[in-house]
Amino acid sequence: MAYQDSKRKYFSTKIFIRPDQWDNKHRLINRKHPQMEEFNSQIEEMIKKLGKMANSHKIISLLFILDSILRNYHE
């Protein structure tokens, strides 16, 4: 799940488990699933990539705003 314009957006991890195999408190696949470690690692990597993309987007947005301010200031 991610947010866009203050609205929740869902996307598939392409990992399918039963509800009893999910630890909602820790937001991880629990030991009831035979591929728990592999899938949790995949989910963790996806979260890291999304975080990096979000940070890059914030930096690009800030640079764009700063550039716009500086251009308007010098006019």
Query: pLDDT tens digits for 45-65?
Result: 988 988 888 888 787 777 777
C-alpha span between 16 and 28 (Å, rounded): 13
Average pLDDT, the chain: 85
pLDDT at site 9: 77
Dihedral sign computed on CA atoms, order 38, 32, 28, 16: positive
Task: Compute CA distances 64 → 5, 15, 57, 70, whole Å.
Answer: 19, 37, 10, 10
pLDDT digit of tens for each residue in the chain (75 aa)? 566 677 887 778 899 999 999 999 998 999 999 999 999 999 999 889 888 888 887 877 777 777 777 777 765
Distance, in Å, from the CA atom of 25 to the CA atom of 50, rounded to the nearest integer, reads 21
Rounded to two decimals, the pTM is 0.66
Q: Tell me which amino acid residue 27 is.
A: R
